[in-house]
Amino acid sequence: MPPILANYYLTYKCNSRCTYCDIPVKPANIGIKETPPEVIIENLHALKRLGVKVVDFTGGEPLIYKHLPTVLRAAKEMGLYTSVANTGTLYPWKAEELKGLIDDLKFSLSTIDPEAYSKERGINGFAKVIESIKIAKSLGEQPSIIATATPDSIEQMEDVIGLAQELGVVVLLGPVFDYCDNELLRKESVEEIKRLSKYDNVCVNWAFAEFYVDGGNQIDAPRCRAISSTVVVSPDDHLLLPCYHMHDERLKIKHEDGRSNLDEIWRSAHVQKRRKEEGSWDFCQGCTIWCYFETSFLWPPDKYFLLNILSKIRWSKEKLKQYVEARSSLNFTRKLAGDRDKILKAISNNPVNQPKTTEKKEPVAKAK
């Protein structure tokens, strides 16, 4: 089976400093240069030839990459499904340019408390995320919230769900994974995530929740298919093996006469040899890095396969409900008890009534 997903890192820069992510501050990442859009587009053609269906443009903060609209437009023209997860702190200045170019638009938010947000993210950006969600909806987008549950934030997840219901968006709820010394959730916290998954506007990948409690990837019986299912490209035009988070090899992509050899590299004997070993290296033991498991669970058939399929059905139903509610007077959402209006009223300006986003001066994001 050819890879279905590409995790395309456009930049390692980010204007946030999330407690559970080291991408923008990792010493090896700081000097990495970004690739011109024409080179990325050549790689997209190679990914298309390889059989990839979905491209997740990621980072860092992908909206820092100034040519994002150009590469998104090219991907859409090729028939690729586009995904962008971002902090929501830069989106108001990019919204008009990005309109209609992102199939799966996601904003990261794990609290409804502005102070807790600042503590977790390193910046004062809560109000901007709410503004971004409202702007996206006003432009006809169907944004989602990514809520990462940590030991510190798990108790706030119900409030995040209530906020999402008020905003008319879906919450993609999941546990923090084992990377950069993150403290993992205990079993009872994962059970809490499963309980919350029963509420409207909430999507949890039940396969991953089960996998998480089971102890993650086991090298004697690997469940990870990181190389088989996912192609990972770095900002400076390298294929990363076996994945971004644990990569121990960077293969330079070559370009000649407007053609990328990324697909040829992936099909090479060397990569296929490593593919047969995926999930079995020492650093793979106990891994719960989510970025590679949704596609890993697509095969072979087992309990994770089944739970993954059921999770995708749930996601489809919730997104359909979001679509219908946004375009009609119908409301199917069973909201949680409690008043969430107060947090929305705390956002002083309704972005729908503000001047066009293109008239604003964009802040300069600095890499540290």
Q: Tell me the pLDDT tens digit for each residue of 255-309.
A: 999 999 999 999 999 999 999 999 999 999 999 999 999 999 999 999 999 999 9
Residue 207 CA: distances (Å) to CA of 147, 174, 204: 17, 11, 9
CA contacts within 13 A on the Cβ side of 31: 2
Quickly count: other Cβ atoms within 10 Å of residue 281's Cβ: 16
- Statement: residue 355 has pLDDT above 50: no
Domain assignment present for 365: no
- Statement: residue 235 has pLDDT above 80: yes
For residue 8, give the nearest of 38, 50, 41, 49 by alpha carbon.
41
Which pLDDT belongs to residue 342?
Answer: 61
Residue 349 CA: distances (Å) to CA of 91, 130, 166, 339: 16, 10, 17, 20
Q: Tell me the pLDDT tens digit for each residue of 155-195.
A: 999 999 999 999 999 999 999 998 888 999 999 999 999 99
- Statement: residue 63 has pLDDT above 90: yes
Which pLDDT belongs to residue 348?
Answer: 46
Q: What is the 3 state secondary structure string of the chain?
A: CCCCEEEEECCCCCCCCCCCCCCCCCHHHHCCCCCCHHHHHHHHHHHHHHCCCEEEEECCCHHHCCCHHHHHHHHHHCCCEEEEEECCCCHHHCHHHHCCCCCEEEEECCCCCHHHHHHHHCCCCHHHHHHHHHHHHHCCCCCEEEEEECCCCHHHHHHHHHHHHHHCCEEEEEECCCCCCCCCCCHHHHHHHHHHCCCCCEECCHHHHHHHHCCCCCCCCCCCCHHHHEEEECCCCEEEECCCCCCCEEEECCEECCEECHHHHHHCHHHHHHHHCCCCCHHHCCCCCHHHHHHHCCCCCCHHHHHHHHHHHHHHHHHHHHHHHHCCCCCCCCCCCCCCHHHHHCCCCCHHHCCCHHHCCCCCCCCC
Which pLDDT belongs to residue 368?
Answer: 41
Looking at the 3D structure of the chain, how many domains does it have?
A: 1
Domain assignment present for 208: yes
Q: Length of the chain, please?
A: 368
20 vs 289: CA distance, rounded Å: 12
Domain assignment present for 367: no
What value does the mean pLDDT take over residues 145-163?
95
Domain assignment present for 364: no
Q: Tell me the pLDDT tens digit for each residue of 73-111.
A: 999 999 999 999 999 999 999 999 999 999 999 999 999
State the amino acid at position 198 in one-letter form: K
Domain assignment present for 242: yes
**Structural domain span for residue 175:** 5-359
The C-alpha angle 133, 119, 212, rounded to 5 degrees, equals 75
Which pLDDT belongs to residue 351?
Answer: 47
Supply the CATH number for residue 246's domain: 3.20.20.70
The overall average pLDDT reported for the chain is 93
Q: Tell me the pLDDT tens digit for each residue of 42-55.
A: 999 999 999 999 99
Rg (CA), the chain: 20
pTM: 0.93
